[in-house]
Structure 1
Amino acid sequence: MPAMLRTLAQKLGLMAHTFPGGIHPDMHKLSAAAPIEDAGISPVLILPMKQHIGVPCTSMVKIGDKVLRGQKIAKSEGYLSVPVHASTSGRIVKIEEHAIAHPSGMGMPSIFIEADGDDRRDESLEPITDWRNVDPTILRERARMCGLAGLGGAVFPTFIKLVQDRRFPIETVILNGIECEPYLTTDHRLMVEQASEILDGMAIIMHMVGSSAGIIAIEDNKTDAAEAMQEALTNKDGMDGVHIEVLPTRYPQGSEKQLIYTLTGREVPAGKLPMHIGVLCQNVGTTKALRDAVILGQTLTERIVTISGDALPRPANLNARIGTPIRSLFARQGLEDFSNIQVVHGGPMMGERLRHPDIPVVKSTSGILALSQQAINAAHTVENPCIRCGHCSEACPASLVPNLLADLCRSDQLEKAEDYQLFDCIECGACSYVCPSNIPLVHYFRYGKGQISLARREQVFAEASRQRSEGRDTRIERENAEKAARRSRVRKTHAPKPAAEPTTEAVASTDTASTTRPDTKPIPEEKS
């Protein structure tokens, strides 16, 4: 539907529960009916020291140390950071760089734990069962201590979103159960199987931010999840202000800003956060993890992962320990030969293509896909020139002009691209999906954002260097002035004292003595 007609329909109330743009890709929910299974414990777990947006952690252990499950092994070094915890009991065998989920194959300092098979847990964190009578600040610190980060893919430190700010009171808490990425079914199964626990987590969030209104958003292709959540909500006390919204399936409805607009009609301004319009949006998996951190005193050591794809014999939803090698999960489901197989971390729309399966499960691992060469060829064909059809603009959920932005990024007109709201792009891939010329539009957007961010970092470093240089010059001048002042004081202290001026009496005495001395002879007069 053209954007103008869509906007008109929304104003007339003919289209409820929608947002600008969006597409309907094949969903391939192969594991939707597969119950959550325990993936077991790998002999060796690999834990990168950065699994969240923000500052990396620093190791607190050394090779040979014995650790317990849930024990903190890497501490956060900045505000935008959360610690890393051991996923099982065992011994630290290595601390070195290891490949992470990134298309470049880049590495990250990681801690290797050799499991001892006992899976003994660190019990130092006490459960907070009476959380309704606990100060939200304490609960927020519990979320930080337990290493909680957004499990929906963004991995933003959870405790930061749970702050109570009097300037921006939270009116509505939204529980995001959309899961619009093809193949992924982790949130779907979690809502079906653990609905009551999710609602406990939602109640904790509402208590922490002081909100009495909540919305649980689920798409209409998850009717069993909606029914399970509704039944649990009916039987849950103290949640009268919460209701469920079942929305028509459309990608990328699970994106935070798009979901907020769909449910509330309020738009998050560019450069602002949902809190600035009185909304908090939280993923169902993160909400369940918060419940476990508060009520059970458990740190984040595991997560549910969808393992799927057309090249996988047995798609599944696995409860996997953080640090489990992806290769072992594939082997568990019957895939060991990776020739002509493309491994994707995440979903096919926003996920990252990996060079090999030898990376660990991390907090952001919502899914792992094994795609055949046939599926890869169907999705990635030869790029052709843009024909200016406008399909990308119609599909864009952020109301951008993707073909123009791609041209600007490709030609390094980055300031102009930023003027055209490049950073409003959520990289959902809808534009690339509908492009008849097969232009990898998101690739160019990521390039442009990366270059701009790099330039900004260099500018910050240059400014810091300038300030250090000026500070050094100022310090040297100050030190020289202080040295000169000290030398001046020393010279004054050790200088010889000047002769005392004769007094009037002394002068008079001297004159008298000179006139009365017997040996004084008169000065002879000159002869003319």
Structure 2
Amino acid sequence: MFSLHKTRGGVHPPQCKDVREYACTSVTPPERVRIPLNMHIGGPCTPCVKPGDHVYVGTLIGDGSGLYAPVHASVSGTVVSTDTEQLPTGATAPVVAIESDGKMENDPALAQPSYSTKEEFLDCVRASGAVGLGGAAFPTWFKMRAPEGKKFEFLIINGMECEPFITSDYRQMMEHAERVVDGVHRIATALEIPAAVIGIEDNKPEAIAKLTETVAAKGWSDLIDVMAIPTKYPAGGEKVLISATTGRDVPAGGLPVDVGCLVVNVTTASRIEQYFRYGMPLVTKTLTLAGDCVANPGNYRVPIGMSVRDIIEATGGLTKEPRKIIMGGPMMGRTLTSIDCPIIKANNAILCLDDQAVLPDETPCIRCGRCVRVCPLGLMPYALDSASRSHDVVALDELGIMNCMECGSCAYTCPAHRRITASIREGKGFYRSEVARLTQPAKGA
């Protein structure tokens, strides 16, 4: 059904996937969780609970409208606050703090959902609280809605996990292969998508074999294909994966649906299937804990809202003080300023680094063009870096800064060690603010 296509750019950083064979284990729930209500692209949810309320695991605590994903309690206990706070990411949102009663009792109102139409299926996916668990955090139900006049021809399941260190998606495929395949089949049939492919980097042969065998055993080989894709970062980028599996290129400023594709992370598909089986919404997160400072690296299942500090302590602590703690992978993750930061839906790794965090000093750009050659989207990173630092909004617009997916390939290959990705990220923020300022109606108009 699908054939492999060559993609542009990319780099080959060290894999560092030393915990890939570590089975996922659950950590002891903390005494308190702090659950932000903005764990998705779109507007933050509004609290559905108030201080003093008793909640169970799976109780709805945040709901919204428009582009959003509902939020649920990850522990049973008492709500102690619903205050609006500034998070370590810099964003401001309501945060529901829950004091655990230690019982971890499931909400008695939870029930296995059912559907008979596409609209009802989308309502169920929305109720599950599912978002893109590869890191994008786009509300999955919203992504699954094809705009008027368009339709999905291909369902592409992203099992690439191309970031160094991270192995949580790999463990999902190895430990829950049947649930993954059932989830893919459910999504494809419910949305009437005629063909699906699970893309996996070829450095994960065990996962490729396991999912291929599972698809064949269920007799779904005519619908679902499992494709081995050459290992190259960022092969797991949405637009890159679409190009590799279908040969179609998403236009600048466009969306996957513009080329007939729906892309879903492999763990997202698995968790959606889990919701349809048991009625439990998204309340836990599987993540990789790694780095040269971690006493017990591995893959762990943690309640959403548990702090990074509590996770580190619950898994045995640190062997030495880290220079840097990254939430996510080393290429696209964000450095934390506080380890009291709560785990959110999109977090898939915590990296505690010492020696591996040392970076050389920046030197002037020498216009060598390496960043251009490795950019998977054909942009000009060195020029975007310059325009971002000089706050040149016209140049940022002409260079298409919003098309950058911040994969970090440019910074990785730069011989001058320019912090290109960080610069572009800041440039995006400036560009958004300037567009908003220039397009807002004039006062008194």
Q: Which residue identity lines up with residue 19 of structure 2 in the other structure?
A: S
Supply the distance in 2 between the matched residues of 1:439 and 1:324 (Cα, whole angstroms): 34
Q: Which residue identity lines up with residue 207 of structure 1 in the other structure?
A: T
Question: Match for residue 86 of structure 1?
Answer: 73
Q: Which residue identity lines up with residue 363 of structure 2 in the other structure?
A: N
Instruction: Please tell me whether the aligned partners of residues 58 and 110 of structure 2 are also in contact (alpha carbons under 8 angstroms).
Output: no
* 1:291-333 superposed Cα distances (whole Å, 9 cap, x missing partner): 1222321111012111111211221111111111111211233
Instruction: Please tell me whether the aligned partners of residues 99 and 359 of structure 1 are also in contact (alpha carbons under 8 angstroms).
Output: no
- Within the alignment, does 1:180 sit opposite 2:173 as a pair? no
Question: Match for residue 61 of structure 1?
Answer: 49
Supply the distance in 1 between the matched residues of 2:277 and 2:437 (Cα, whole angstroms): 45
1:391 alignment partner, one of 370, 379, 391: 370
Question: Match for residue 110 of structure 1?
Answer: 95
Supply the distance in 1 between the matched residues of 2:217 and 2:88 (Cα, whole angstroms): 41
- Within the alignment, does 1:40 sit opposite 2:64 as a pair? no
Question: Match for residue 422 of structure 1?
Answer: 401
Supply the distance in 2 between the matched residues of 1:195 and 1:171 (Cα, whole angstroms): 24
- After TM superposition, the score normalised by the length of structure 1 is 0.81
Q: 1:121 to 1:340 in 2, by over 3 A?
A: closer
Q: 1:93 to 1:438 in 2, by over 3 A?
A: same
Shift, 1:205, TM fit: 1.1
Q: Which residue identity lines up with residue 27 of structure 2 in the other structure?
A: A
Q: 1:369 to 1:361 in 2, by over 3 A?
A: same
1:251 alignment partner, one of 218, 233, 240: 233
Instruction: Please tell me whether the aligned partners of residues 44 and 93 of structure 2 are also in contact (alpha carbons under 8 angstroms).
Output: no
Q: Which residue identity lines up with residue 121 of structure 1 in the other structure?
A: N
Where 2:366 maps in the other structure, the secondary structure is: coil
Where is the helix percentage greater, Structure 1 or Structure 2? 1
Matches within 5 A, 1:230-269: 230-238=212-220, 240-269=222-251
Instruction: Please tell me whether the aligned partners of residues 50 and 56 of structure 1 are also in contact (alpha carbons under 8 angstroms).
Output: yes
Instruction: Please tell me whether the aligned partners of residues 311 and 341 of structure 1 are also in contact (alpha carbons under 8 angstroms).
Output: no
Instruction: Please tell me whether the aligned partners of residues 17 and 248 of structure 1 are also in contact (alpha carbons under 8 angstroms).
Output: no
Percent identity of paired positions between Structure 1 and Structure 2: 34
Where 1:344 maps in the other structure, the secondary structure is: strand
Shift, 1:94, TM fit: 2.3
Instruction: Please tell me whether the aligned partners of residues 268 and 274 of structure 1 are also in contact (alpha carbons under 8 angstroms).
Output: yes
Instruction: Please tell me whether the aligned partners of residues 139 and 294 of structure 1 are also in contact (alpha carbons under 8 angstroms).
Output: no
Matches within 5 A, 1:427-446: 427-446=406-425
Instruction: Please tell me whether the aligned partners of residues 295 and 319 of structure 2 are also in contact (alpha carbons under 8 angstroms).
Output: no
Q: 1:111 to 1:304 in 2, by over 3 A?
A: same
If you compute each CA radius of gyration, which structure gives the higher value, 1 or 2? 1
Larger CA deviation: 263-272 vs 200-209: 200-209
1:331 alignment partner, one of 313, 334, 337: 313
Higher relative contact order (CA 8 A, sep 6+): 2
Instruction: Please list every run of 5 or more consecutive structure 1 residues that lacks an aligned counterpart in the other structure.
Output: 1-14, 471-528
- Within the alignment, does 1:376 sit opposite 2:357 as a pair? yes
Q: Which residue identity lines up with residue 375 of structure 2 in the other structure?
A: C
Matches within 5 A, 1:165-244: 165=147, 167-238=149-220, 240-244=222-226
* 1:11-66 superposed Cα distances (whole Å, 9 cap, x missing partner): xxxx9543110000011002101001011311111101111111011111111110
Instruction: Please tell me whether the aligned partners of residues 162 and 208 of structure 1 are also in contact (alpha carbons under 8 angstroms).
Output: no
Where 1:235 maps in the other structure, the secondary structure is: helix
Supply the distance in 1 between the matched residues of 2:110 and 2:79 (Cα, whole angstroms): 22
Q: 1:101 to 1:397 in 2, by over 3 A?
A: farther
* 1:363-422 superposed Cα distances (whole Å, 9 cap, x missing partner): 0111111001x2111xx2211011111111111111111112212222222212211221
Q: Which residue identity lines up with residue 257 of structure 1 in the other structure?
A: K
Question: Match for residue 11 of structure 1?
Answer: none
Supply the distance in 2 between the matched residues of 1:288 and 1:214 (Cα, whole angstroms): 15
- After TM superposition, the score normalised by the length of structure 2 is 0.95
Larger CA deviation: 255-264 vs 203-212: 203-212
Q: 1:250 to 1:177 in 2, by over 3 A?
A: same
Question: Match for residue 524 of structure 1?
Answer: none
Supply the distance in 2 between the matched residues of 1:311 and 1:56 (Cα, whole angstroms): 34
Q: Which residue identity lines up with residue 79 of structure 2 in the other structure?
A: I
Q: Which residue identity lines up with residue 272 of structure 2 in the other structure?
A: L
* 1:45-100 superposed Cα distances (whole Å, 9 cap, x missing partner): 11011111110111111111101111111111x31111111112110122234563
Q: 1:302 to 1:237 in 2, by over 3 A?
A: same
Instruction: Please list every run of 5 or more consecutive structure 2 residues that lacks an aligned counterpart in the other structure.
Output: none
Question: Match for residue 141 of structure 1?
Answer: 123
Supply the distance in 1 between the matched residues of 2:4 and 2:156 (Cα, whole angstroms): 18
Supply the distance in 2 between the matched residues of 1:340 and 1:34 (Cα, whole angstroms): 22
CA-based RMSD of the aligned residues comes to 1.8
Supply the distance in 1 between the matched residues of 2:322 and 2:377 (Cα, whole angstroms): 35
Question: Match for residue 275 of structure 1?
Answer: 257
Supply the distance in 2 between the matched residues of 1:346 and 1:101 (Cα, whole angstroms): 14
* 1:238-285 superposed Cα distances (whole Å, 9 cap, x missing partner): 452211110110000000000100111100011111111111110011
Question: Match for residue 121 of structure 1?
Answer: 106
Supply the distance in 1 between the matched residues of 2:135 and 2:175 (Cα, whole angstroms): 21
Shift, 1:208, TM fit: 2.7
Q: Which residue identity lines up with residue 61 of structure 2 in the other structure?
A: I
